[in-house]
Amino acid sequence: MPHAAAATPQLLRRVNAQAVLRHIRGADVATGTELMALTGLTRASVIAVCEDLIGRGWIVEQDQPADPASPRKGRPARRFAFNRGAGFVLGLDIGAATTTAAVADLRGTVIGRSSGSFRAADIPAQERIGVVDLACCEALEAAGADPGRVLAVGAGIAAPVDRDGNVLVTQRFWSLFDVGLRSALKELHGWTVLLENDANLAALGERWRGSGVGVDDLVVLLAGERLGAGVMESGRLLHGRGGAAGEMGYLDMVEGVGSSDGIAALVRQWSAAGGGPSAGGPASAPRVFADAAAGDPAALAILDRISERMARVIASIASLINPEQVVIGGAVAESAGALLPGITALLPRFTATPPRVTVSPLGDAIVTAGAVRHALDYVEANALELALPARG
């Protein structure tokens, strides 16, 4: 019968270092005594690990706070803090028309942001890469961050991506995003790029800092021009064989839905077909919903139609996946709150397992938030293998 290999001193040091770093990362400041209690390590082991992590640049030692009213005898407890400025991560949201880059420190605080536009959806790959790279460099400049201090880049695209970061190209629109971004940014800057579907990153972002914090069974619907879903089951993202889990093409076959058009697209279509905003001007979700709140009959009719359609969409998801919560996200989230009463009232008609439905507070930053979280996950998992760049 095979026996498990004995733990080597090197492996034990690594496990101990990961445990200590995890606890320090989750606290503002941690003392040696607190780390002993949290990890079960001896004081000597905790101090040895902390010294090593200080040498690597991941943590710093904090001065003892002065408190003349409470003089202490003996040696004060050593205090350690995570070095949030040891490096940076980038979060990218790459759509068909625009791209946005966000720079964050290692606590996930965004400190720089920039956007760029593509002149057309089907531009050459090198041109698309150039626009993305420029947005990254401008965001880093705004943050005062050196490109050489970027530890990882999370990048969301409007196409399915498998677990290995390969783009599914069975539809022409998806193939527009297969431009070799990972190898290009690696060659240009030495960056590690983690490619992922934008709706999947939206789900990560919503669970991290949105209305779905702590929810393990979560679906986030990006609901602007076209519907796409990021699905989390038991706290992990679902990809499927080719990365197409959460794609919404099946809605073409759902009664009362018929397409994967999103809320913004439907507002324009239905406004043009039968009465737009009461005061004239271009139809948009915020404008039509504002008119509905003011009692405009045409706008109220559109709101009712969208509420029923979204209830059918969410019911189909609930019947297949049974999530605890479904979040409407993206640029339309700010105005989509007007849909919640209608959707919630209609759901029991269409499914025996209605989820809680919310709108995201993250707005159009939902994908970059998830991209930052994705990059941080990589950094945290590989911290002991990453060589932190020296400060210039």
Res. 70 pLDDT band, cuts 50 70 90: low
**9-82 and 88-203+367-381 share one fold:** no
pLDDT at 273: 77
Q: Which two tokens stand for residue 235?
A: 């706290």
Instruction: Match 């089951």 to its residue by tokens.
Output: 233
Q: Yes or no: say if 56 and 386 are a contact pair by the CB < 8 Å rule.
A: no
| Residue 18: count of CB within 10 angstroms of its CB | 16
- The span from the CA of 158 to the CA of 178, in Å, is 11
pLDDT tens profile 75-108: 678 999 999 999 999 999 999 999 999 999 999 9
- The span from the CA of 224 to the CA of 304, in Å, is 17
Q: Yes or no: say if 285 and 251 are a contact pair by the CB < 8 Å rule.
A: no
Q: pTM (2 decimals)?
A: 0.92
376: helix, strand or coil: helix
9-82 folds as: Arc Repressor Mutant, subunit A (1.10.10)
- The span from the CA of 187 to the CA of 181, in Å, is 10
Looking at domain 88-203+367-381, does it have CATH number 3.30.420.40? yes
**CATH annotation of 212-361:** 3.30.420.40
What are the boundaries of each domain within the chain?
9-82, 88-203+367-381, 212-361
pLDDT tens profile 123-159: 999 999 999 999 999 999 999 999 999 999 999 999 9
